[in-house]
Chain A
Amino acid sequence: MNNNSKNTEQEIFNLWEKAGNALNNQQQLNKENMETLLNKTSSEFSSGMKRLLKADAIFKVIMLFGLIIIAAFNLANLFVLATVLICIILGAFFIKIDRLLIEGLNELQDYKGNIRNFLTRDIHFYKSNIFRLPIVLSISVFLFYILGSLIYYAFQYETIRPVKDLEDALVLIGFLLFSVIFSFAVYYPYFLSRVNYLKTLLNDIDQGELILDHIDNQKAQKRKKIIITSILVVLGIIVLIALIMVYF
């Protein structure tokens, strides 16, 4: 029996070696095709995130330029100047966060240590930024709304009137809330599933005894996800109703 087992083990090693030789004969990488591969774009999660954040930072810069131009044509309008100033401070702050997140993502590609370290570092990064990322992305939508509104007023009424009543303020707050909720609804589950997948791998490395803990965690996460989604849906409906009531 023991001999049989040893034979099987040896056979497995021999077959693995045979497969290795067959693979080497069949699939040869040369410098030319390696160079071609290096010129392509990465489809990896963190690279995709980096591209998204870079595009977001550029979008914010364009919005801020637009706002500055609007301000330049309305130098006498204190409301416009104040709005643009607030947007510049807000935009600059979040562009800085975009940059910090991109730097953080760059560090994820620094392979020092072992796979367990890489997974722990990735989990830490995505967990600590899971709320920051959707907020950063939602601010761009908000800036777009402000710029769009100012342009609309400037062209439609030839003047930009200040927010004078509660109704206007409510619409503004409602839209800000809507962009944050929308951003969370789109990106939060995306990041959460990433964190959960990384945690599954880490738990797998850390031994089978953690499997039970992991199942409990998964269940808790699922419950949490359902609760958060329900809250977001309810909030979204409230905001939608409020906006409809304000407009009609």
Chain B
Amino acid sequence: MDQENKMKEKFLNLVEMHQGIIHKILSIYTYNVEDREDLLQEIMLQLWKSFPGFLEKAAFSTWMYKVALNTALLHKRKKMKEKYTVDALIESRAQQIGLSKDDTTISLYMAIDQLGPIDKAIALLYLEQKSYQEIENILGMKKNNIGVRISRIKDKLKKIFEYEQQL
């Protein structure tokens, strides 16, 4: 029991320290508060369940990205974003991030929303300035593939972002 409490304490400390990763993943994979709460709960549970298998020699953040991204990819959403009007999506995004509706950051999120689930994960890791090696470790893609995909995502993001800003 004492051992489990110690492990839980260690786990909670590590998650608290790296919670930014979870918030960023939630911000790109969910579109409303209800969905956000569901995914947050699921990520926490998956992290905790798999924590005993976490290898200390690996960086906690890398392991956290793997588990949290995998959970986000497999998470069954209650409401699909297609049901939202653009205005409602902007409103929801602004509320979620805690910025005004007119903030340029919302345009970036609207651009990321146009990407598929795997491209979103690559975009997130690219924006977090992870190296190709780290992205390979997390996603399991080959380095040359990562380069091609990032270049395509960059172009796509820039185009959509510039278009969103013009609106």
Seen from chain A, the residues whose Cβ lies within 8 Å of a Cβ on chain B are: 5, 8-9, 11-13, 15-16, 18-20, 22-31, 34-35, 37-38, 40, 42-45, 47, 109-119, 122, 198, 201, 204-207
Contacts and interface: CB of A to CB of B under 8 A. Distances in A.
Interface in B105-146: 105, 108-109, 116-119, 121, 127-129, 136-141, 145
A117 to B, nearest CB: 6
Central interface residue in B15, B97, B136, by most chain A CB within 10 Å: B97
A10 to B, nearest CB: 11
Majority DSSP secondary structure for residues of B touching A = helix
Contact of A115 (B16, B109, B138): B138
Dominant SS among interface residues on chain A: helix
Nearest to A204: B118
B19 interface: yes
A113 B118 contact: no
B91 interface: no
A122 B74 CA distance: 11
A25 to B, nearest CB: 7
Contacts of B109: 19
A114 B66 contact: yes
B31 interface: no
Contact of B44 (A30, A38, A119): A38
Interface string B1-31: 0000000100010011001101110110000
B63 interface: yes
Contact of A24 (B12, B20, B55, B154): B20
A29 B63 contact: no
24 contacts: A13-B127, A20-B24, A22-B98, A24-B20, A26-B97, A27-B23, A30-B16, A38-B44, A43-B41, A43-B76, A44-B46, A44-B75, A109-B50, A114-B136, A114-B138, A115-B73, A115-B138, A115-B139, A115-B140, A118-B66, A122-B74, A198-B74, A204-B119, A205-B118
B121 to A, nearest CB: 8
Contact of A23 (B40, B49, B97, B129): B97
B80 interface: no
A6 to B, nearest CB: 10
Interface of B: 8, 12, 15-16, 19-20, 22-24, 26-27, 38, 40-42, 44-46, 48-50, 53-55, 63, 66-67, 69-71, 73-76, 97-99, 104-105, 108-109, 116-119, 121, 127-129, 136-141, 145, 154, 157-158, 161-162
Contacts of A28: 19
B12 A35 contact: yes
A111 B137 contact: no
Contacts of B117: 201, 204
Contacts of A9: 154, 158
A19 B99 contact: yes
A25 B27 CA distance: 14
Closest 5 CB pairs of A and B: A116-B140, A114-B140, A26-B98, A204-B118, A23-B23
B98 A25 contact: yes
B127 A16 contact: yes
A185 B126 CA distance: 43
Contacts of B15: 29, 34
Contacts of A119: 70
